[in-house]
Amino acid sequence: MSMNQTNKFRILSLAPTTRGVGYAVIEGENMLVAYGVKTARVKRRDKNARLMAHVKTMFLRYRPDKLVLYDLNAKGVHRRPRIKELQRFIVRLAQRRKLNISKFSRIEVQSLLLGGRKGTKHAVAQLLAERFPAELASRLPPKRIWYDPEDRRIDIFEAVALVVAFRLKNVKRTD
């Protein structure tokens, strides 16, 4: 792939959660094009249908060359059946669009981003807020206390972590 093609290469990462879908789009080397969380405040049965519509819209709007997801079948991963069903839909949609799909375990993402150290979601979020200060610093949630529910903004950082991990792994592979 030439340098011009690399600069236009667009990667979409999706992180399905119980609240919705965190997403991030990166173009070129490190240009964060879009990020956020799409939610569906409807009955459980209708939630995936609404989120699937959001995902289809993202595919049309951002026209990614690559899709990056968490590996929900990795050892030690426990996700609700609804989330697994949503991810299967996302994979089928990407395959129909002939997108390349990469999957990472949470441990692999943390290892790539934190340099092999163990860490928390908040440690990863802090690192990403430093890497993309204009975009993410203001969205960094406070460190969570064990009895507090997880801040919904962390879903943004989950998706950005995926796309940055993909970039880091590919840079290491080409060196």
pLDDT tens, position by position, for the chain (175 residues)? 334 444 578 999 999 988 899 999 999 878 899 999 998 877 666 888 899 999 999 999 999 999 999 998 888 788 888 899 999 999 999 999 999 999 999 889 999 999 877 788 999 999 999 999 999 999 999 998 888 888 889 999 999 999 999 998 886 554 4
End-to-end CA distance of the chain: 15
The vertex-59 CA angle with 125 and 5, nearest 5°, equals 80
- Tell me if the pTM is above 0.75: yes
Q: Is 92 left (phi over 0), alpha (psi -120 to 50) or beta?
A: alpha
| Residue 6, pLDDT score | 46
> What amino acid occupies position 134?
A
| Residue 13, pLDDT score | 96
| Tokens 């928390």 -> residue | 120
Taking Cα atoms as reference points, which of 85, 41, 34, 81 lies closest to residue 59?
34
What class does CATH assign to 3-174? alpha beta
> What amino acid occupies position 143?
K
| Residue 4, pLDDT score | 44
> What amino acid occupies position 105?
S
98 touches 90 (CB < 8 A): no
> Could you tell me the two tokens for 58?
């993202």
Any residues with CB less than 8 A from the CB of 81 and at least 6 apart, and which? none
Q: Rounded to whole angstroms, how far apart are CA atoms 97 and 90?
A: 11
| Residue 87, pLDDT score | 93
Rg for the chain, CA atoms, rounded: 16
